[in-house]
């Protein structure tokens, strides 16, 4: 069994819980309140600013030019596809780019990104990949799951969001990162694999808490 398959089997229950959360349940029915989606767009925008840094650190820790190139491509695509997409979504709701950039991360958002950045800074390349992979992979899982639901695709804006993460282009990067996880975990002793699994599961749990906080519109906590 590849290590990524082990991670998938251990973490899938969390991603299933995300799909069952009211935020994504309502999105799948095309009934999600637009103010909750706007809150999510703002929080995810500032989240992505820190998430990009993980790929920059990946370039630093990578051993091959090919992996450096792929980390760089992922970072660039987050800026040019995901973040630009968030800006366009926000415009439709009358939210300016300046408002997005001035958004304060809520407590869960801040805790999540600080956790990943600490792992990426202090840990190995394998630990860095284990920390960042759940965001990419769970969005692929969610996007492809929701793309199968007709009601989800009837909403003009939610359809665009869903199809972005169900797209072949997005999933090609997810697959690269999954394969990288297998490569950097190969040959590691069980003690280290267990640590990678713990990092992966914690990031997955943060993903669930991110959806929950956005549904409840939990603001910045000082």
The residues that are catalytic are: 135, 207
Instruction: Compute, in degrees rounded to 10, the torsion defined by CA atoms 146, 151, 155, 157.
Output: 0
In the DSSP assignment, the letter for residue 80 is I
Q: Rounded to the nearest 5°, which phi and psi values hold at 31? A: -115, 10
Query: Cα separation of 43 and 110, whole Å?
Result: 10
Query: Cα separation of 122 and 215, whole Å?
Result: 32
Query: Cα separation of 104 and 95, whole Å?
Result: 15
SS3 assignment, position 63: coil
């Amino acid at each position: 069994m590849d290590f990524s398959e082990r991670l998938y089997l251990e973490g899938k229950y969390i991603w299933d819980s995300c799909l069952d959360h009211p935020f994504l349940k309502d999105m799948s029915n095309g009934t999600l309140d637009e103010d909750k989606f706007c809150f999510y767009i703002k929080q995810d925008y500032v989240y992505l600013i820190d998430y990009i840094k993980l790929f920059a650190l990946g370039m630093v820790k990578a051993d091959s030019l090919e992996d450096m190139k792929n980390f760089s491509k992922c970072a660039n695509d987050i800026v040019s596809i995901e973040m630009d997409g968030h800006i366009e979504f926000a415009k439709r709701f009358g939210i300016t780019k300046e408002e997005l950039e001035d958004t304060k991360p809520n407590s869960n958002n801040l805790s999540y990104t600080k956790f990943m950045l600490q792992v990426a800074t202090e840990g190995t390349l394998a630990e860095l990949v284990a920390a960042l992979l759940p965001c990419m992979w769970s969005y692929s899982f969610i996007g492809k799951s929701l793309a199968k639901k007709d009601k989800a695709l009837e909403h003009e804006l939610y359809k665009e969001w869903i199809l972005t993460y169900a797209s072949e282009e997005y999933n090609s990067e997810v697959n690269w990162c999954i394969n990288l996880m297998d490569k950097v975990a190969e040959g590691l002793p069980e003690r280290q694999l267990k640590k990678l699994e713990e990092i992966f599961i914690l990031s997955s749990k943060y993903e669930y808490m991110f959806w929950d906080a956005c549904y409840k519109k939990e603001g910045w906590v000082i």
